[in-house]
Structure 1
Amino acid sequence: MVASDFKTKVLPVSKKLLRFAVHFLKDEDEARDVVQDIFLKLWQKKDELDRIENVEAFAMRMTRNRCLDIIRAKRVVPIDAEKENRLKEETIDVHEQIEMSEAAGQIKALIGRLPEIQRNVMQLRDIEQLEYEEISEMTGLQVNAIRVNLSRARKKVRDEFLKLNSDGKERSKTFAATLF
């Protein structure tokens, strides 16, 4: 199809397409955009239009489909309260996991800065979950010395962690309290 054929066969249906689109969309500006898109697509397919029996019907169907696509895209899908709560919980869980992994990294670094005895005692008791007697056998320290070193190590790590994360929020203190 050449430009002159396009002007005589396709362009005259523009008002009809516009009315049709306005009927669907209830917005004349949006309907004009749709009609313009349809004419652009028809122009791009101008070589194939000779094979189409009724170009007007084809253009009307394209307009209808485009309007329906726009309506579907605007449609808000309601989420029931249960799904919404689950989504919020999952989002909160992700944030908490990130906070926990960041905190774990900070705590590992803080433990690494402890004196060797405190670091070893904390590693054996808090991370490897060994009993005081087992730690005593491994280190040669008395149980009371283990308790004292563990208490001091925990206090240092807790205090340093709070210093690192003291942004004036009560959440940091609560978070630290749950960790220690």
Structure 2
Amino acid sequence: MDSKTFKTEVVPMSGKLLRFAVRFLRDDEQARDVVQEVFMKLWSRRKDLAGVDNMEAYAMRMTRNLCVDEIQKHRTIPMEQLKARNEWISNMKQADELAEQKDTARLAKEIIDMLPEQQRAVIHLRDIEHYELNEIARVLDMQNSAVRANLSRARKKVRDEMIKRMNYGNPKSRNITGKVL
């Protein structure tokens, strides 16, 4: 293909190729660059174009492929942005987890505060202050078996109430004694 044939057969498709590229890229300047690149590739392959049956379809396909390449090129995230984005996501997850832990701790404290006095004292000394069972028995003037029984009952009530409140999403349903709040 010589320059005269190129000007008469290929260049007149520029408007159609440009509209097609704009529809893909939604950016006039990028579309012009793609069409320019299509013309440069067609010109560099002009000797092989004699075997092309439908020049317009060939040029449209080339335009489409270059548009897709352009879109993919701009979708890639530079490594610095990717690291910053991942760090931000990690910080957000940590903040969410911390907020959830605080909510859970607040709920547990609220439930513990509703326990009968002896159970409340036993669970506080064991699970919050980390006393040994025999130390708790001595402090509260109780038998070791009574400490274990009260601790077991208190933990069960706290666990059951937390499950109930978390499942129902209603923190003011009923207190541990069964009274409506």
TM-score under structure 1 length normalisation? 0.48
TM-score under structure 2 length normalisation? 0.48
